[in-house]
Amino acid sequence: MKIEVPSGELLDFHDESIYEYEKIGIPELKKCCFVLVAGGLGERLGYSSIKIGIPLELLTQSTFLQYYCETILAIQAKYSKENDYIPLAIMTSEDTHQKTLKLFEENSYFGLKKE
């Protein structure tokens, strides 16, 4: 069996052709979801909890998870219809599952739907 690696596309975000790809991809968002692999603790980084809870910046203490959810909400607001939403699936580990749920619950799921 021969293994083949797809060549893919090299996208230049300064090239006008990117808009053609957006026209193809944006209608497909309703069929997609975001997936976040979040099974790790931040111990090696000197953080005592889950990595997705690490603040991205000091002023507001916004976490990585908050930034990720806000990005999903921004894409959803711009490209989805009123009742559509883009789901988020998170892979957790035994070490991170309860802490991840707690972070979501304490922050009202960062505006995402609970389900």
Assess whether pLDDT exceeds 90 at residue 12: no
Cα distances from 82 to residues 76, 78, 85, 98, in angstroms, run: 9, 10, 8, 32
Positive or negative torsion for Cα 53, 91, 26, 24: positive
Q: Say what the pLDDT of residue 100 is.
A: 93
pLDDT digits (tens, 9 = 90+) for 62-87: 989 999 999 999 988 888 777 788 89
What type of residue is 2?
A: K
Task: Quickly list H helices, the chain.
Answer: 18-25, 64-79, 97-106
Q: Could you tell me the pTM of the whole model?
A: 0.77
Top-ranked range on mean pLDDT: pick from 11-15, 46-50, 71-75: 71-75
